[in-house]
Every structure is written in C-alpha cells, then in structure tokens.
Structure 1
Amino acid sequence: MIDRIAIAGYRSLRDVVLPLGQLTLVTGPNGSGKSSLYRGLRLLADVAQGGVVRSLAAEGGLESTLWAGPEAFGRAMKTGEHPVQGTVRKHPVHLRLGFAGNDHGYAIDLGLPTPGASPFGHDPEIKVEAVWTGGRLANRNLIAERRGPMVRVRRQDDGTWRTSFEQLSSFDSMMTHCADPVDGLELLTLRERMRGWRFYDQLRTDRDAPARRAQVGTFTPVLAGDGSDVAAAIRTIQAIGDGGALDDTIADAFDGATIDGGAELRMRQPGLLRPLGAAELSDGTLRYILLAAALLSPRPPELMVLNEPESSLHPSLLAPLARLLRLAAQRSQIVVVSHAERLVSALSDGWGTETIRLSKELGETVAEEVAAPAWEWPVR
C-alpha cells in the first residue's frame, strides 16, 4: 500500500506531503487544490506509461503548470507586514512528484529545458529520478537513480552498481527504459504496479455517451475510463466476479432493482413490466452503475482514484455510494476526491477513513490538521 505522496512545484501545490490510507478522502472548497492533487497522481501514473512529458505539454507546458508564487514565504509575508513578492532563488526550478510505501518509493524531478538543446524548447526535462526500498529515501536503500542522462542500478546479487544508460533522453524515464528482469527487476515490478493504477474522472452519462449504446459483449474485467464498455463489464462481474455484491449494491441504491449486462445494459425495477435500456436511464442512475462496475471489478487494482464521483448523483445515492466505496476498499487502495458534504460525512463516519481537508493560504494549497509523513527528495 502507498502510505504517502509528495508533490512540489505543481500548480498550487508548492510543497505537500500527504498520508494515504486504505481509503483516503480528499475534500475542500472549490479552488483549494483538489484537482491539482488528482492531476499530480495521474502524472505519476503517466511516468510508468512513458507519457509524463506529453501530459505536461497537454496542460500547457511546464511553465503554465509550475507553482506561480515565490519559492518560499517569509514570516513577514505570511503576517501581511510585507507584500508577497519574488525572492532570489536558492534552488533550481522544480516540478517534483513522488510516492512511497513500506516496500518501495519513487520520485521524479522535472525542470526547465536546457536552452538550445532541443527543437522542442518548451518541453520539460527529466533531471533526476530515484527508486528506493522502504518509506524514506536514503543512500543506503537507494536501488536505482537517474541524474541527467545517466542511469545506474544496484545489482541484486552483490549490491554493486552498474551503469544502465549513459545517454538517456531527457524525455524518457528510467522506469520505461531501464526495467529488466535481471538487474532492474524491482524497477520492472514497480513500473507494472504503477501501470495498473486506475483513474476515473470521465465517466460519460450524456445523451450520446457510449455507455448508452449497444456494445460488443466480450470479456471485460476492467471498465474503460469513459465507461463505454459497461454492459460487458457488468456481465463479466456476474460471470466471474462478485455478482452477489453487485446485486446488493444496485438493490441498495435503487429499491430492489436489478441489472444485467452483455451486449446492452438493462435495468429491471419493481413495478415495471419490461426492463429499461441504457438509453432510458437517468444520468444519475447510469453514473451509479458505472461506478459499481468500476469498483467491483473482478480484477481489482492496487490503487484506484476517483475524482468527484458524486457528479450527477441525487443526494439519496451518496450513502449507498459510501457503502460501495468501503466495500471496494477491502480489495484495493481507494482515493476519493470530493466536495459533496453528504459523501464526505458518510465516508468519515467511523470506518477509519484517512480524511484530508485542503484549503488555500496565499494561493498555496495546505492540508488542515494533517501531520506530514517523513520525506526526502533526491537532489540534483
């Protein structure tokens, strides 16, 4: 399980280290930094797919995603005695992302490109990467590191270092280019774990949503990011997953209703003489079914992150959704980003949920009453 994440220099996240539990709820008012935290986690997952530089470019480039405030706030700035203003930098410009658990940790440091080094002069460069064992980075537990274009990996048999790359491109991660089953086995394992993380923030329920159309009813243990294969995913859960849990969660939310998958999603409700097709379902009903298909996957991921799952849901569905999330958290680590107070209250009520409340101070995202876990960034 991941027990801490660290993000520095990304949008309003000047420098945050946050604890994660088996079920973590991130909440706060609009503009507090919830979406930035979610995007930061997605960027970490993009590293394992080889797409972190491309993802930053899609957000407008490194310059538009960097923390826009001063490198640090002096006491007089915080008290209002002096206006907030730029100061002489003590460190290079960074955008840093990392996570760690009891077994392994990983961090990446992206910076401004070297002038004239590439025709793509606005692309960020990967300056430093590190993989270590245990929760906190130290020289003794470092197992792989990248500095500029050079990557070295510690051998498993005798603990000595070997150079894996001498001229790794600035846009390529060592996670995608240096993982191998001999000396880079731990990199390979960690990369595959990161590739298995799932994110859901684009489950479509509009009139033209793919989930409302007939589908190819093939084996689908993992719901697509937009929910387009929900009927096949439901049928797969019923065939090889926990069909009883699916029946219970639908009946819990919709007063005894049942659903069936295959080529087309159908719902049977007490009192109706025929089942309703996906095109007839309300946005909220369809969205809840999509969430059930994602959370009850017969191939549960190590980590699943949901951004504002309450969208389109009637308030009466938030308590059943909280019960569904708790059930899913018994099989996967779940992070939920939400500002729906009913959902926040239901998830925070006596189950051991790790609740992180974000707010803004001088444009900087801070976590209220949260003890930051120990963290060390790799140095350039």
Structure 2
Amino acid sequence: MLHTLAIANYRSLRELVVPLGQLNVITGANGCGKSNLYRAFRLLSETALGGAVASIAREGGLPSVLWAGPESFAKSVRRGEHPVQGGPRRERVHLRMGFAGDDLSYAVDFGLPSPPFGSFGLDPEIKRECIWHGAVLRKANAVVERHGAIVSTRGERGRWDVIAQHVPAYDSLLTHVADPRIAPEVLLLRESIRSWRFYDHFRADTDAPARQIQVGTRTPALSHDGRDVAAALQTLREIGDGARLDEAVEDAFPGARIEVTVKDGRFGIEFRQHGLLRPLSQAELSDGTLRYLLWIAALLTPRPPELMVLNEPETSLHPDLMPALARLIENASERSQILVVSHSTRLIAALEPCKQSEPIRLYKDLGETHIEGQGRLDAPPWHWPER
C-alpha cells in the first residue's frame, strides 16, 4: 500500500504531500486542483510504461505543466499587503513526483535539457531517480539511484556499483534496468506500478466502445475505455464472484438482472428489468445504467490490482445510485487500495461512514493547492533526492 504521494511544481501543485490510506476520497470545490492531482498521479504511473515524457508533451510540454506562480510567497503577500510578484529564479527548473510505500518508495525529477539544446530544447529530461526502502529517503536506505544517464545500485557492504551508463534522458530507469540479479527492487517496483488501474470518465455516447458488440476473450481486468465490458462481466461470472455481481445489479436496479450473450464469439449485454417484455441491449441502455455496469465490471474485478484510481465515478449517475456505488467502492477497498476523486456530495457522504475512508479536502490559495487542515508539521515526512 502507498502511504504518501508527493508532487512538486505540477500546475497548481507547487508542493503537495498527500497522506494515503486504504480508501481515499479527494474532494474540494471546482478549480481547487483535484484534476491536477489525478493527472499528476497518472503521469507518475507512466514512468513505468516509458510514456511519461510523451504524456508531458501531450499536455503542452514541460513549460505548460509547471507551476506558474513565484518560487515562494512572502508573508506580506499571503496577508494581502503586497501583490504577487516574480523575481530571479534561484532554483533549477524541475517537476518532481514520488510516493512512499510499505516497502519500496520512488521519486523522479524532470527538468529541461542542458545546452546545446538542438531541436528538442523543450523536451523534458529525467535528471534524477531514486528507489529506497521505507517512508523517508536517507543515504542509508537508498538502493537504486540515477544521476543523469548513470544508474547505480547499492551492492555488498554498502558500496555503489554502476549498472547502466547510457540510459536515455527521455526514459525512466524502470524501463531500462530489469535484471533481477542486479537490481530486483527495480523489477518489483516496475511491476507494482504497472498493475495500477486508472478509470476516468467512461464514455456512454452512441458511438462509445462499451455500446458495441465486441469479440470477447477472458477479461479479468476491464480496459480503461470499457470496450470489453461484456467479456469482463462474463469473466467475473465464471471465475469471480457471480453472486456479488447479481447483488450489485439488484442493489442499484431492484428487480433487474443482466445476461451476457455470445454469438460467433461476439459478446453483448442484455439488461432485463421487471415490467419490460424484452431485454435491452447495451446500445439501448441509458448513459447512467451503462456507466454503472461499467463500474460493476471495474470494481468487482476477479484480479484486483494493488491500486485503483477513480476520477469522478459519479458522472451521469442519478444521485439515488450514490449509496450503491459507495458500497461497490467500499467492497473493492477490501482487496485494493482505492483513490476516488469526486465532487459529488452524495457520494462523499455515502463513503464517509466506511471504516477505511480517508477524506482529503483540497482548497486553493494564491493559485496553489493545499490540503484542508494540513499545517507544515502535519504533512507526512518527505525528502526529495538532490540533483
């Protein structure tokens, strides 16, 4: 389980250290930084897939995602006595992200390339990476370090051995160092991050992949866009908890049940409801009904991941469905660590009684995102690797 998520200089997240529990509910007013936190977390996961630099480029490049305010605020500015003003930069340009887990922890530092820049002068480079044991980085508990293109691992008697010398600046060490004999921590951490699942705004429009009949294969994990929802539900019924699937449908739609049809290897959904003479296909379902079936497939997965992140799962759902959705999420949190980003008061209220629920309310001050009630001494301890 992750205990701490740290982000620095990503949009409104100038310096945010978030404590995490088993079930985390991120909330706050519009524009407070909830989406930035979700996107930063997803960007962090891209390091293990080799796509972090490309993801930053899709957001407009490093200059577009960096914190746009001053490096620090004077007390008089916070009191409103003076306007916000910039000054000469004292720190290097960097975008830093990391997390602390039960065993292994990780941090990565992105920066601008060193001159001469060439044609890719704004292409972000990975300047520093570090893997360590425990919650807080110290010299004694670091096990793998990257400085520029050189990766070293702590060997016998605490000696550092170079294991890679030419790692491209646009790639993480997680994608280049995978020898379990030399650096088993890299392999374990990479596979752990790759197991994370992110679900963000399932489409339910007429042309949505989830409305189309698809060729089905065994699907223990629903795809991010839900295109294989029928196969995922059938997999859940055959190798997962089929009774819980039926209970989840009944909980949200009393008297209803679903069946998965298979014809020539193509899977479809039939939704049977009391009072109707025929079942409804997935193409006929309302947006809310289809999205709820997608959440059932995602949250009752027979192969639960270590971490699941849900971004605004309440989208298109009727407020009366929030208690049933909350019960689905609570059930999933018994098998996976869950992070929910939401602004639905009904869903948040339904999740509050959960024993493992950790509410995290964000707010913004002078353009910077903070955690409500978190003072300087309340944040989890965290140290960034030095360049």
The two structures have a TM-score, normalised by structure 2, of 0.96
Q: Any conservation in 1 of the 2:201–2:312 contact (CA below 8 Å)?
A: no
Structure 2 match to 1:102: 102
Q: Any conservation in 2 of the 1:231–1:260 contact (CA below 8 Å)?
A: no
Q: CA deviation at 1:118?
A: 4.2
Q: Any conservation in 2 of the 1:202–1:225 contact (CA below 8 Å)?
A: no
Q: CA deviation at 1:352?
A: 3.1
Identity fraction in percent: 57
Query: How far apart, CA to CA, are the structure 2 residues paired with 1:266 and 1:341?
Result: 32
Query: How far apart, CA to CA, are the structure 1 residues paired with 2:48 and 2:326?
Result: 30
Q: 2:140 matched to 1:133?
A: no
Structure 1 match to 2:166: 167
Which of 322, 328, 331 is residue 324 of structure 1 equivalent to?
328
Structure 1 match to 2:223: 224
Structure 2 match to 1:359: 363
| Of 344-353 and 203-212, the range deviating more from structure 2 | 344-353
Q: Any conservation in 2 of the 1:219–1:236 contact (CA below 8 Å)?
A: yes
2:127 aligned partner, one-letter code: K
Superposition pairs of residues 222-261 of structure 1, within 5 angstroms: 222-261=221-260
Q: CA deviation at 1:229?
A: 0.5
Superposition pairs of residues 30-179 of structure 1, within 5 angstroms: 30-155=30-155, 158-179=157-178
- Residues 1:309 and 1:195: Cα distance change in structure 2 (over 3 Å): same
1:129 aligned partner, one-letter code: E
Superposition pairs of residues 10-29 of structure 1, within 5 angstroms: 10-29=10-29
1:279 aligned partner, one-letter code: A
Structure 2 match to 1:211: 210
1:192 aligned partner, one-letter code: E
Q: 2:277 matched to 1:297?
A: no
2:381 aligned partner, one-letter code: A
2:279 aligned partner, one-letter code: P
Q: CA deviation at 1:150?
A: 1.2
Q: Any conservation in 2 of the 1:27–1:339 contact (CA below 8 Å)?
A: yes
Q: Deviations over 1:125-173 (max 9, x none)?
A: 1110000001110000000011111110123x55432101222211011
RMSD: 1.2
Structure 2 match to 1:368: 372
Q: CA deviation at 1:274?
A: 1.9
1:206 aligned partner, one-letter code: D
Q: Deviations over 1:10-59 (max 9, x none)?
A: 00000000011110000011110000000011011100001100000000
Q: CA deviation at 1:343?
A: 0.4
Structure 1 alignment gaps of length 5 or more: none
Q: Deviations over 1:249-275 (max 9, x none)?
A: 110000131112251011111222221
Pairs aligned (count): 379
SS at match of 2:126: strand
| Of 341-350 and 311-320, the range deviating more from structure 2 | 341-350
Which of 346, 365, 374 is residue 342 of structure 1 equivalent to?
346
2:303 aligned partner, one-letter code: R
Query: How far apart, CA to CA, are the structure 2 residues paired with 1:160 and 1:91?
Result: 31
Q: Deviations over 1:195-231 (max 9, x none)?
A: 1100000411111111111111211111111100100
Query: How far apart, CA to CA, are the structure 2 residues paired with 1:115 and 1:202?
Result: 41
1:327 aligned partner, one-letter code: N
The two structures have a TM-score, normalised by structure 1, of 0.97
| Of 205-214 and 49-58, the range deviating more from structure 2 | 205-214
